Structure 1
């Protein structure tokens, strides 16, 4: 199925580009001169686009990438995205915690909670919140030139955007502490070796590979993928009994979908399934 591309309209469209075609929502950060550091407006636009992808039956996969040399250099502190940081003498206790909850944590949660599979196509530097934005995605493709940096310690800051939650679950607590304590740049190849990245590809093949992966996901059983995502994400915080109960409930829900019926029918009839995302 091929949809005609449609371009979003908003005051930040030039900074967060968005198109949908072939059932794939493509979101591109476009502030290359700032290595795609996120302003509050951009962050809110990202959150809105991910919510729209969840709710739109015509969207069955999401790709998140950037332009230029950076995927995302984190929150743009100069634009007020980190309001409160470095201005403790002006802040009221609780202000900064509220800013983090309503800002960086909401963004990462929007990725984790998106009901469609989200692919990060990391085209360059992913630092701070930018690294956590990528790592929250379901699948991560990285260009050979990409690198991941837990930059917070370099600024005397504590990691935000869910980093202390995400990293230990991906690489274990000792590796997570090493990355966060030293703040060294992690090349794409090393990120793949540690399990932070699914695959590293030549820079010139990143967009093509992301498109192929996304279109393959978009042709799949969308609701089954959403339920699978929920099960895997929740399993890291669940005991066995809770995880098994959630699995059984997900199976019950999924068997009411058209795609589940189509999958069974195609198996019995020995043909390729034709999933509709419903």
Structure 2
């Protein structure tokens, strides 16, 4: 059964339309090829549950087959991004599970990050207020992060007796802000302010709270109207080149760029330049 449509015939393998996807555990809307996913339990600062984890994972997996979505915005309702796993609906039940059950859970949460990194669409996180635990991981796993000065980002796993190595944090976070700074956040579990996050390079930019979502959507819209095949290739190379030598990276980038040179968008850009016009990209 496909979580997205309820039909086994729509399992990934063929192209999917996700413009009219009906979400169950979060808000979802699409405008001009940009999907906005809003965690919407504002009374609890938008915590995740077993079901919302699973639905997010399945949705990002399906994005690989969605021709009608070109960029994604992740955000939260009610002036907070996400407070992490729900204390009563996740943390409590986890204390009752055996080792196989715990491993199934941690692998599922890791699969969400894998799905976010594997989907071709750039993901822009709009972060306001609390961004903690799994919420901090979701922001980290996004491609671009726009925050507010009042945002508070905490990889707080050690504060509940767990290791900081959750959902890829020890691999991804040092690549964004450096080993020493990542070590500080992952050992201490302390909150990182919006200004500190921007200074360290975790956040790409800061916006006023009332504009942070629109800033993320504007950024996403610009990408969605650009050479989206090439953007997907950029995302793929940014991810896959982490464990390559420089020589290997140069070789795979040569192949990737040659593939992009075969696209109609590349030819459109050339002809527009000749005519001194702005190119109109169509993602093919």
* TM-score of the pair, normalised by structure 2: 0.88
Is the Cα–Cα contact under 8 Å of residues 37 and 72 in structure 1 kept in the other structure?
A: yes
Given that residues 26 and 39 in structure 2 are in contact (C-alpha distance below 8 angstroms), is that contact kept between their aligned partners in structure 1?
Answer: yes
Partners of 1:25 and 1:53 within 8 A in 2: no
Of 2, 5, 8, 2:21 maps to 8
Q: CA deviation at 1:222?
A: 0.3
**Could you tell me which of 165, 173, 178 is aligned with 2:179?**
173
Question: Shift of residue 144 of structure 1?
Answer: 2.1
Tell me: CA distance 1:239–1:200, structure 2 relative to 1, closer, same or farther (3 Å). Answer: same
Q: Tell me the equivalent position of 1:128.
A: 133
In the alignment, is residue 185 of structure 1 matched against residue 191 of structure 2?
Answer: yes
Matched, 1:164 2:174: no
| Residue in 1 that maps onto 2:122 | 117
Question: How far does the alpha carbon of each residue in 1:173-212 deviate from its partner, in whole angstroms, 9 at most, with x for none?
Answer: 1111111111111111100001000001110111221121
- Please list the CA deviations of residues 131-165 of structure 1 after superposition, one character each: whole Å capped at 9, or x if unmatched: 01001111000022211001111101113111111
Distance 1:82 1:194 in 2: 34
Q: Secondary structure at the match of 1:80?
A: helix
Per-residue CA distance 1:205-255 (angstroms, 9 max, x = gap):
112211211111111000100101111222222111221121011112212
| SS across alignment from 2:63 | helix
For residues 71 and 254 of structure 1, the distance between their equivalents in structure 2, rounded to whole angstroms, comes to: 35
Report which stretch shifted further, 48-57 or 170-179: 48-57
Match of 2:36 in 1: 26
Residue 71 of structure 1 aligns to a residue in which SS?
Answer: coil
Q: Which moved more, 1:250-259 or 1:22-31?
A: 250-259
TM-score by length of 1: 0.89
Could you give the per-residue CA deviations for residues 80-100 of structure 1, whole angstroms, max 9, x where no partner exists?
37854x34xx514x4423321
The whole-number CA distance in structure 1 between the counterparts of 2:53 and 2:71 is 20
Q: Indicate the residue corresponding to 1:91 in structure 2.
A: 98
- Decide which moves more: 69-78 or 103-112: 69-78
Aligned-partner SS, 1:148: strand
Unaligned runs of 5+ residues in structure 2 are 1-17
RMSD value over aligned CA atoms? 1.9
CA distance in 2, matches of 1:235, 1:266: 32
Match in the other structure for 1:231: 237
Give the drift of 1:16. 0.7
Is 1:263 paired with 2:274?
no
Structure 1 residue runs of 5 or longer lacking an equivalent are none
